[in-house]
Chains A and B, each alone.
Chain A
Amino acid sequence: MIRLVPRTDTAALLQVATPVMAVLATMLAGGILFAIMGYDPVAAIRTIFWDPLFGPASGYSRPQLLVKAAPLILIASGLAVGFRAGIWNIGAEGQYIIGAIAGAAVALAAYPAPEMWIFPAMVIAGAAGGWAWGMIPALLRNWFGASEILVSLMLVYVAQRIAAWMAFGPMKNPEGFGMPGSRNLQQYPAASNPELIAGTGAHWGVVAALVAILATWFLMSRHIRGFHIRAAGIAPRAARFAGVKPETLVAFCLGLSGALAGMAGLFEVAGPAGQITDQVGVGYGFTAIIVAFLGRLHPVGILLAGLLLALTYIGGELAQLTLNLPAATVQVFQGMLLFFLLGFDLLTRFRITRRVTA
C-alpha cells in the first residue's frame, strides 16, 4: 500500500519554488500533449507563452494582458482571504455575473443621462450585487450549516440563467433589432469603463485590482481582522478563544470575495465586454481560484499568477488563430497548472512510502 507520511522539514523556499515548478511541468506536459496531437510542441509553447508579449503581433496582445489579468486578480485577492480562513467560495463566477447585471442595471435605468455619478454608482451596485450573491451561501451556512462550497457553486448556474433571462428579456436593447443582449455600454460615455491610457489596456478594473492587492495585503498582515482570519484557518479553536465569531468570519469572507467578484463583473461589462449577454460569465471566477492558489494566497503572488493566467488566455487564442490548436487548449493548460501545483504541494509536505499493510 502507498502511504503519505508528513514531512517535518518543509523548506520555506519550496513555498515559492512549487508554483514555478508547476508552470514548467505544465509547459513540458503541454508540449508532449501537442506533440502527440501532431503539432510542433516548441512552436505551440512559444506561441502561448512568448509571442503574446514579444511576438510579431504583440502590439495587439500586450494590452490584452492587463484586460484579462485585472478581473482575475481582483477576484482572486478576495477569494484568497476566505481561503486563508478555510472558507471556500467556489462561486465567484456567479457573483461576477450578478455584479455585472446589477451594475449594468444602474446604467440602463439611467440611460441616457450624462451625469458623472452614474459610473461610480454602477461600481457600487456591482459590488453590492456580488456581495448579496455571496451572502446567500454565507447565511445558509450560518443558519443551517449548509456547505458554502456546494451552495456557492450551484448559485453559479442560477446566475447564468438569470443572465440569459436578462439578455433576452428585461435588459434587451430596445433598439437592437430583436438581437439578444443589452445596450452596449461602451457607446454610453457616462457608463463606460474606457481604456485610461491608450495602448495599455488599463481600465478602471486594473486600478481596482491594484487597490485590492494593496488592501488585502494590508488586511492580512497589518489588521487584527486579517490576523483572526489566518488564525481561524490554522487553528479554529484558538481563533474562537481569541474572540472570533465563526459566523461573522463566514459572512465577512464570502461578502468580501463576492463584492470584489461583482466589481470585476461590472468593470468587464462596462468595458471590454460592453453589454449583458447570456455569455457574460467567461470563466474568470473559476480561473481566479487557480490564480489564488498559484499565488500562494499571497497578494504579490496573486499579482504574478494573475498575469500568467492572463497570458495563457491570450496565448491560447493566438495558438488557435495561428496554429489551429483546439479552443479547449486554454482550459487544458489551466487544469494542468492546478493539477501540477497541487501535486507538487503534496510532495513538498508529504513523503510517499510503500508499506506492507499489517
Chain B
Amino acid sequence: MTDAAVFRARGIGKSYPGVRANDDVSFAVEPGEIHALLGENGAGKSTLVKMIYGLVRPDQGQMLLNGQPHQPADPRAARAAGVAMVFQHFSLFDALTVAENIALGMENPPPRRALSVRIAQVSQDFGLPLNPARRVATLSAGERQRVEIIRCLLQNPRLLIMDEPTSVLTPQEADLLFATLRKLADGGTAILYISHKLEEIRTHCDRATILRGGVVVDSCDPRDHSARTLAAMMVGGEMRPIDRSGRQSGEVLLQVRALSQAAPAAEGTALKGIALTLRAGEILGIGGVAGNGQDELLAALSGEIRSAAGTILLEGADLSRQGPEARRSAGLLAAPEDRLGHAAVPDFSLTDNTLLTAGARKGLVRRGLIDRPAARAYAEAVIRAFDVRTPGPGTAAKALSGGNLQKFVIGREVMQAPRVLVVNQPTWGVDAGAAAAVRQSLLDLARSGAGVIVISQDLDELLELSDRFCALNEGRLSDPRPTEGLTLDQIGLMLGGAHGMEVAHL
C-alpha cells in the first residue's frame, strides 16, 4: 500500500490507571497540511502527541512516519526521525541569549557564528523576526515562542507539533504565527496543531480530528463547519448559550486610584498607576498576556499585598491597608488563577478549603473556633449548586479535576454573595462544560447586583462576559472601552500589539 501521509496512526490505545486516555485512535496527517487536533481538556490530545514525540509509549496500535514504523524510545529518537514539538510551556534559560538557547537544544550545534547566520536565515525565510544576540529574559512570550519554533525548524522536521501555541499570544502575534505555519506547510512540512480555540482552527487549519474521551469522534474540514457545530462535536452535545440578560449598572462599588506597587519578587511585575471604577451589576474585563501584572493586580485587590492608603476603596471605605480577611468581611472577594496551592490547599479536604475564605461571611469560624459541621454543610452546598463532581466534601482538593476544582473555588466565593468579586483566569485549563458554568455564574452574580472583575488571557471569554474592557500591559492598565463593537484588532492594539514586529537584525 502506498501511503502519501507524513504521519499515520492506526488503532492507537493507551491506558493509565483508571483512565483510558486513548482508544483505537486512527488519523493521518498529509504533507503540507495544517491538521488540528481538537478536544476538551482530558480528551486525550496530550497523551496522543506525547506518544508521537516519544515521551509515552502506546499500549496498542501502530504509528507510521513517512511510511516507516515510528516507535520512538525517547524524544531524541523522535527528533532524529523528523518530529519536532513546540510545547505550551517554554524551556528556555532567561540568562542566555537566543543563539545560546538554540545551541543548547541541538544535538550537534554548529559553531556560534554559523549558527547565528542560520538563525537569521530561518527567521527571515519564515517571517519570524528575532535577534539571535538578545537575552531571552528581555523577550515577550511571543518572541520566546519564536525561539522554540526556530529551534525546531533548524532540524528540518517532517512533522511539527504545536501544543496550544496561541494561548500566550496577542492576536497580531498569532496572525504572524499562522503566516509562518502556512509557509512551512507550503514547503511540505506537516503540522499537527493542538487547540481548543474553534475560531482559529476554522480560519487556519485544513483538517481537524476531533477527540472526545480518548476516542476520535469525527474528522472534518473545519472550514465547512461553524464554531458551534465544532463545539458540539467536541463536547458531545449542544452548548447552552450564555445568558447575559437582565443586568443594569448601578452605583459605584469599587474604586482603584493611582495604585502603584513595586514588583513583589524579582520575576514579578510592578503595577504602575492603576485606576479603575467598577459599578454594581457590571463586569469589567481585563485582558493581557500573562506576566504583565495580572497576579500582582489580583494580590493588591485581594489584600495579599497591601497598597498605599487611599488607593483601593469599596463603597467609599478605604481598604488599601487592610488584609484579605478584613476585605472579605467588607465584601471584596477574590479567586486567584492558581487553583492548587493558591486558591486551595491541595492536601486539604473541600470542607477545610471552605475555611480558607468563607470563615467570616458564612459563620464557619466564630471567635476563632472552627464549626466543622457548618463548614461541611457549606462545602456540600457549593458542590450541589455548582455541580462539582466529587465523592464528597471529605475529598482532598488535589483529587479533583481542574474543572471541578475551579467550579468549587469560584462557587465558594460566589455563594458568599460578595459586593465585588475579582477572578483571575477563571476558566484556564477547564473543560468547555465547566467553563460555561463558571462564566454563567459570574454573569448571574453581576445580575444580582455585584460587581465583577475578570482578569483573563482568553479574549473570547472577555468579549463574551465583560461590559467594558481594558488591557493590562507591563503593569499599566489602559482606559476601559465598552466591549460592544470592539474588534479583535482593536483589542490587540490595546494589548500592546505584537512585540518585536520590527525586522530582525542581521
Task: Decide if A and B are genuine partners.
Answer: yes
**Interface residue ranges, A against B (CB under 8 Å):** 222-225, 227, 230-231, 234-235, 237-243, 245, 358
B348 A234 Cβ-Cβ under 8 A:
yes
A238 B369 Cβ-Cβ under 8 A:
no
Alpha-carbon distance between A223 and B328 when the two chains are bound, in angstroms: 19
List B contacts of A225 (CB < 8 A): 368
Alpha-carbon distance between A177 and B84 when the two chains are bound, in angstroms: 87
- Number of B residues whose C-beta is below 8 Å from A? 29
Complex interface residues of chain B between 170 and 201 (CB less than 8 A to chain A): none
B355 at the interface (CB under 8 A from A): yes
Encode contact with A along B76-93: 1 for CB under 8 Å, 0 otherwise.
100000000000000000
Alpha-carbon distance between A240 and B324 when the two chains are bound, in angstroms: 8
Q: Which of A237, A239, A241, A245 has the most CB of B within 10 A?
A: A241
A243 B368 Cβ-Cβ under 8 A:
no
A229 to nearest B CB, angstroms? 12
Encode contact with A along B345-375: 1 for CB under 8 Å, 0 otherwise.
1111000100111010000010011100000
List A contacts of B370 (CB < 8 A): 222-224, 227
Given contact pairs A227-B355, A243-B325, A238 touches B342 in the complex (Cβ within 8 A): yes
Which partner residue on chain B sits nearest A237 by CB separation? B342
B338 at the interface (CB under 8 A from A): yes
B403 at the interface (CB under 8 A from A): no
A222 B356 Cβ-Cβ under 8 A:
no
Alpha-carbon distance between A239 and B368 when the two chains are bound, in angstroms: 16
B331 at the interface (CB under 8 A from A): no
Alpha-carbon distance between A225 and B357 when the two chains are bound, in angstroms: 14
- 10 interchain residue pairs of minimum CB distance: A243-B325, A243-B324, A235-B345, A242-B356, A237-B342, A235-B341, A238-B345, A224-B365, A231-B345, A240-B304
Q: Which of B303, B304, B325 has the most CB of A within 10 A?
A: B304
B343 at the interface (CB under 8 A from A): yes
B365 to nearest A CB, angstroms? 5
Which partner residue on chain B sits nearest A225 by CB separation? B368
B341 A242 Cβ-Cβ under 8 A:
no
B415 to nearest A CB, angstroms? 17
List B contacts of A222 (CB < 8 A): 369-370
Which partner residue on chain A sits nearest B334 by CB separation? A241
List A contacts of B123 (CB < 8 A): none
From B302, B303, B334, B342, contact of A235 by CB (8 A):
B342
Given contact pairs A231-B345, A234-B347, A235-B345, A241 touches B352 in the complex (Cβ within 8 A): no
List A contacts of B355 (CB < 8 A): 224, 227, 242
Complex interface residues of chain B between 286 and 326 (CB less than 8 A to chain A): 302-304, 323-325
From B76, B303, B352, contact of A243 by CB (8 A):
B303
Alpha-carbon distance between A240 and B325 when the two chains are bound, in angstroms: 10
Which partner residue on chain A sits nearest B326 by CB separation? A243
A241 B323 Cβ-Cβ under 8 A:
no
Alpha-carbon distance between A224 and B304 when the two chains are bound, in angstroms: 18
Please name 17 further chain A to chain B contacts, defined as beta carbons within 8 Å, in addition to the given A225-B368, A241-B343, sorted by A numbering. Answer: A223-B369, A227-B355, A230-B348, A231-B345, A235-B341, A235-B344, A235-B345, A235-B346, A237-B341, A238-B341, A238-B342, A238-B345, A242-B357, A243-B323, A243-B328, A245-B323, A358-B76
B462 to nearest A CB, angstroms? 23
List B contacts of A227 (CB < 8 A): 352, 355, 370
A238 B356 Cβ-Cβ under 8 A:
yes
Alpha-carbon distance between A100 and B370 when the two chains are bound, in angstroms: 36
Alpha-carbon distance between A317 and B76 when the two chains are bound, in angstroms: 62
B336 A241 Cβ-Cβ under 8 A:
yes
**Interface residue ranges, B against A (CB under 8 Å):** 74, 76, 302-304, 323-325, 328, 334, 336, 338, 341-348, 352, 355-357, 359, 365, 368-370
User: Main secondary structure on chain A at its contact with chain B?
Assistant: helix
Q: Which of A223, A230, A235 has the most CB of B within 10 A?
A: A235
A81 to nearest B CB, angstroms? 15
Which partner residue on chain A sits nearest B366 by CB separation? A224
Alpha-carbon distance between A223 and B355 when the two chains are bound, in angstroms: 11
Alpha-carbon distance between A70 and B441 when the two chains are bound, in angstroms: 55
List A contacts of B338 (CB < 8 A): 237
Given contact pairs A241-B304, A242-B324, A243-B323, A224 touches B342 in the complex (Cβ within 8 A): no
List B contacts of A234 (CB < 8 A): 345-348
List B contacts of A238 (CB < 8 A): 341-345, 356
B53 to nearest A CB, angstroms? 15
From B336, B352, B368, contact of A223 by CB (8 A):
B368
List A contacts of B368 (CB < 8 A): 223-225
Alpha-carbon distance between A37 and B356 when the two chains are bound, in angstroms: 56
Which partner residue on chain A sits nearest B355 by CB separation? A227
Alpha-carbon distance between A243 and B74 when the two chains are bound, in angstroms: 45
A241 B356 Cβ-Cβ under 8 A:
yes
Alpha-carbon distance between A241 and B341 when the two chains are bound, in angstroms: 10
A241 B302 Cβ-Cβ under 8 A:
yes
Can you sample 10 A-B contacts with CB below 8 Å? A238-B345, A238-B356, A239-B345, A240-B304, A241-B324, A241-B343, A241-B356, A242-B356, A242-B357, A243-B328
List B contacts of A243 (CB < 8 A): 303, 323-325, 328
A231 B356 Cβ-Cβ under 8 A:
yes
Alpha-carbon distance between A137 and B146 when the two chains are bound, in angstroms: 48
Which partner residue on chain B sits nearest A238 by CB separation? B345
A231 B303 Cβ-Cβ under 8 A:
no
A241 B348 Cβ-Cβ under 8 A:
no
A345 to nearest B CB, angstroms? 16
A292 to nearest B CB, angstroms? 20
B54 to nearest A CB, angstroms? 12
Alpha-carbon distance between A269 and B356 when the two chains are bound, in angstroms: 43
List A contacts of B343 (CB < 8 A): 238, 241
List A contacts of B304 (CB < 8 A): 240-241
List B contacts of A224 (CB < 8 A): 355, 359, 365, 368-370
B361 to nearest A CB, angstroms? 12
A230 to nearest B CB, angstroms? 8
List B contacts of A230 (CB < 8 A): 348
Alpha-carbon distance between A105 and B54 when the two chains are bound, in angstroms: 72
Which partner residue on chain A sits nearest B75 by CB separation? A358
List A contacts of B303 (CB < 8 A): 243
Alpha-carbon distance between A227 and B347 when the two chains are bound, in angstroms: 13
Alpha-carbon distance between A31 and B356 when the two chains are bound, in angstroms: 49
B342 A241 Cβ-Cβ under 8 A:
yes
A146 to nearest B CB, angstroms? 19
List A contacts of B302 (CB < 8 A): 241
Alpha-carbon distance between A237 and B356 when the two chains are bound, in angstroms: 11
Q: Which of A224, A234, A237, A243 has the most CB of B within 10 A?
A: A243
List A contacts of B357 (CB < 8 A): 241-242
Alpha-carbon distance between A237 and B368 when the two chains are bound, in angstroms: 21
Which partner residue on chain B sits nearest A240 by CB separation? B304
Alpha-carbon distance between A231 and B355 when the two chains are bound, in angstroms: 10
Which partner residue on chain A sits nearest B325 by CB separation? A243
